[in-house]
C-alpha cells in the first residue's frame, strides 16, 4: 500500500499537478480519494452517522462503556504491559 498526502491549492480545477509523482503502473487499477478541505467535516459526519445507525457497533460501544465503568474489562498481564510501554 502506498500512502501520499499533499496539501495544495488548485489554480485550475481541471488540472492537478503534484510535487511528487505517484507510482502508478500502466494497466493497474488505482483507487484515488480526493478530499476538498472544506468537505472533511461532512465526511466525519457521515462516519459518525454510520456508527450511530449500526446496531452491532452501538451494542459493542455500550458493552465497552459498561465494562470500563465496572473496571471489569480486559486486564493485560505484566508482560503485555511491559511490551506495550516499551515501544
Cβ atoms of 36 and 43 within 8 Å: the answer is no
pTM of the complete model: 0.41
Rounded to whole angstroms, the Cα distance separating 87 from 85 reads 6
Domain residue ranges in the chain:
45-85
Torsion, Cα 73 78 83 86, to 10 degrees, reads: 110
Predicted pLDDT of residue 74: 83
2 pLDDT more than 60: no
Confidence label for 45 from pLDDT (cuts 50, 70 and 90)? confident
| pLDDT, the chain, mean | 76
Predicted pLDDT of residue 16: 67
Cβ atoms of 16 and 10 within 8 Å: the answer is yes
Rounded to whole angstroms, the Cα distance separating 52 from 41 reads 16
Q: Using one digit for the tens of pLDDT, what is the confidence trace for 12-37?
A: 666 666 777 766 677 777 666 666 66
Cβ atoms of 65 and 73 within 8 Å: the answer is no
Amino acid at each position: 500500500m502506498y500512502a501520499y498526502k499533499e496539501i495544495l491549492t488548485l489554480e485550475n480545477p481541471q488540472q492537478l499537478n503534484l510535487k511528487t509523482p505517484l507510482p502508478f503502473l500502466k494497466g493497474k487499477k488505482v483507487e484515488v480519494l480526493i478530499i476538498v478541505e472544506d468537505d472533511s467535516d461532512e465526511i466525519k459526519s457521515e462516519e459518525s452517522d454510520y456508527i450511530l445507525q449500526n446496531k452491532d457497533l452501538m451494542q459493542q460501544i455500550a458493552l465497552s462503556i459498561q465494562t470500563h465503568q465496572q473496571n471489569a474489562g480486559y486486564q493485560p498481564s505484566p508482560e503485555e504491559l511491559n511490551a506495550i510501554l516499551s515501544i
